[in-house]
Amino acid sequence: MASTEEAPPLESAIAEHLRVPRTVPSRMPEEYTPAFPAFVARFPESVKDIVMAIIGSQHANAHKAEEVGALTKILSFMDQGPETSPPRHLDLASVTDAVGAYNQVVIAYWDNISAFQDWNEASGFAEWWKGLDPMVESHGWFQEVFLPSIDRYETIYSDPMEGHTPEGAGALSTNMSGMVKEHVYWGSMRDRLPVSQVHELVGKQASEVSLPDDTTKARVRVPGKQNLAVIRSGQDWSRTLPEEHTLYLETLHPVLTEGLTAIVTGGASGIGETYVKHLTKAGAFVVFGDVNDQGGQRVESEAGGATKSQFVHTDVTVWEEQLGLFKRALSKSPRHRIDIVIANAGVSGFDDVFHSNPDAEDPDPSSLHIAKTNGLGVLYTTKLALHYFRRQFKQHPAASADQLLILQGSLAGYVDLRGAPQYAFSKYGSRGLMKSLRRTEHVHNIRVNYVAPAYIKTPLLSAAVVEHLEKAGTEFATLEDAARAVLKLASDSSINGYVDVDVDDYREGHLKEWSDAALGMKARELSEEQQKVAK
């Protein structure tokens, strides 16, 4: 008879030496079993407190030498002082914030306050910090230091980290727990704090801090509050199963975009259609335009009908029609505002700039249809987005904390695409447009980003091009890849001025495979006569 192996019993997230009789009830439901496993870091009994010091620099303008110099300066203090005082663990992080400033930090951890205090003085850091003159510094400096006692500190991991060093202060632990029971219910984070066994942890109401008119040339100190909760979290999707990834995107992620109003141009097919459907599924109200009326009506119906999305016939090369699209979005928006604009409309195909008849004395005039749609149309969308975003910010700055313009790019904005000069011109141009705006629009709480997928099988790619790329061994991206990038941009207000979500910029050599495939493509189908002339 086969035996059934029983699951190991669930542990308490609170270490045994920190458990005391409860005087404050747990918030865990009766007979509760978590839906999936989680683990916590176990610290030695000798650890009485944890120190997390976040020390960083902020740069309003991109200046690589300045950024490297600032980071080098911070790191120079980390191994100074008595042998027992340097931090036990360091993390490095950086982000471009919502106002477009570049921030970089060193996050240092100690497992006792005395060691931190010794380091602070003996390393020379405290003296250096005290001597900083904000009037002469070319960029900002900041530090945030948290010193919770061990009974006010908790961790949670979705993985037992076997063979890996846990993130953050978990690197100071001696081992990981087994599966714990205090997670994935309302109040579980509080229940993991040992102090919650005897303390209600009522927060102290925040009060306004008086700040100088210009904080760029001043020292500003913001004091903490009793029972202030500080959460450092992160997501690592590299080892998630497909069903786990789907659960996050479809169940947890929608909360971040729910209630927003988005405008999408070119939303009746291809990538634009996928954007419309994913945004509505995430809870946003979407107004989208296209010249394809039949496709637009179909997408509106499939995306949940007029209460979730509305189609407006829009030729992006006609200013009045784009203006009508924006006005419809404002009038139908549940909050009477626009939060996200995606300039997606684009075309490809026969390029009348590239092709000509050498037997004719004078060339035929070019319609510039591709350049007008992908270039002029994008500029019209950008102009309208900036106008309404700036207007919203001026009228209601608090409600306009995050406004997002996404420019639809392409691999063609990076590689040599033979036979398609108008298409390449437009995609390189859109990338330049993003780089022009990302340093100016943050003052209006506007983020500008550029989504540049690799080759995707959409109506923009002819069957002949798809066949050529497949023979070249090209790995295609998917519509869902692009949609996930847009959802990430929509929900993460820290991302501004990026060309995609996973990699800040396409580095030299990064796209060699794609470039080789593109360079190997023949020009768009030449007529038999043109081929003879070419020979």
Tens-place pLDDT, residues 119-163: 999 999 999 999 999 999 999 999 999 999 999 999 999 888 777
Tens-place pLDDT, residues 405-420: 999 988 777 777 778 8
User: Does the structure show a pLDDT above 50 at 454?
Assistant: yes
- C-beta of residue 11 within 8 angstroms of C-beta of residue 180: yes
Q: Map residue 515 onto helix, strand or coil.
A: helix
Q: Which CATH superfamily is domain 242-534 in?
A: NAD(P)-binding Rossmann-like Domain (3.40.50.720)
**452 φψ region: left (φ > 0), alpha (ψ -120 to 50), beta (else):** beta
Identify the burial level of 305 via C-beta atoms within 10 angstroms of its C-beta, where 0-12 means exposed, 13-18 middle and 19 or more buried. exposed
Identify the burial level of 57 via C-beta atoms within 10 angstroms of its C-beta, where 0-12 means exposed, 13-18 middle and 19 or more buried. buried
- C-beta of residue 57 within 8 angstroms of C-beta of residue 70: yes
What does the pLDDT read at residue 535?
32
User: Does the structure show a pLDDT above 70 at 529?
Assistant: no
**Which of residues 263 and 503 earns the better pLDDT score?**
263
H or E segment and range at residue 42 = strand 41-42
261-265 and 285-290 beta bridge pairing: parallel
Q: How confident is the model at residue 166 (pLDDT cuts 50, 70, 90)?
A: confident
Question: 59 Cβ partners below 8 Å, 6+ apart?
Answer: 66, 67, 70, 101, 102, 103, 139, 140
Average pLDDT over residues 249-270: 79
| Mean pLDDT of all residues belonging to the chain | 84
**Of the listed ranges 153-167, 306-320, 425-439, 492-506, the one predicted with least confidence:** 492-506
What does the pLDDT read at residue 433?
95
User: Does the structure show a pLDDT above 50 at 534?
Assistant: no
User: Does the structure show a pLDDT above 60 at 9?
Assistant: yes
Q: How confident is the model at residue 224 (pLDDT cuts 50, 70, 90)?
A: confident
Q: How confident is the model at residue 515 (pLDDT cuts 50, 70, 90)?
A: very low
Average pLDDT over residues 171-188: 91
Tokens 């941009």 belong to residue: 489
Q: How confident is the model at residue 6 (pLDDT cuts 50, 70, 90)?
A: low
What does the pLDDT read at residue 171?
92
CA distance 520 to 430: 25
Q: What is the DSSP string of 432-487?
A: HHHHHHTTTGGGGTEEEEEE----B-STTS-HHHHHHHHHTTPPPB-HHHHHHHHH
Residues of the chain with CATH 3.40.50.720: 242-534
- C-beta of residue 141 within 8 angstroms of C-beta of residue 56: yes
What does the pLDDT read at residue 206?
65
Q: How confident is the model at residue 455 (pLDDT cuts 50, 70, 90)?
A: low
Identify the burial level of 283 via C-beta atoms within 10 angstroms of its C-beta, where 0-12 means exposed, 13-18 middle and 19 or more buried. middle
CA distance 166 to 157: 8
The tokens for 346 are: 């684009």
Tens-place pLDDT, residues 52-100: 999 999 998 767 889 999 999 999 999 998 888 999 999 998 887 756 7
Q: Map residue 49 onto helix, strand or coil.
A: strand
- C-beta of residue 282 within 8 angstroms of C-beta of residue 487: yes
Question: 49 Cβ partners below 8 Å, 6+ apart?
Answer: 111, 112, 113, 147, 148, 149, 150
Q: Map residue 311 onto helix, strand or coil.
A: strand
Q: Map residue 216 onto helix, strand or coil.
A: helix
Answering whether pTM is above 0.75, one says no
Identify the burial level of 322 via C-beta atoms within 10 angstroms of its C-beta, where 0-12 means exposed, 13-18 middle and 19 or more buried. buried
**Which of residues 253 and 115 earns the better pLDDT score?**
115
Average pLDDT over residues 12-17: 97
Q: Map residue 58 onto helix, strand or coil.
A: strand
Q: Which of 410, 427, 323 is nearest to 370 (CA)?
A: 427
Q: How confident is the model at residue 8 (pLDDT cuts 50, 70, 90)?
A: confident
Q: How many CB atoms lie within 10 A of CB 530?
A: 15
CA distance 324 to 333: 14
Q: How confident is the model at residue 364 (pLDDT cuts 50, 70, 90)?
A: confident
Q: How many CB atoms lie within 10 A of CB 432?
A: 12
CA distance 287 to 332: 9
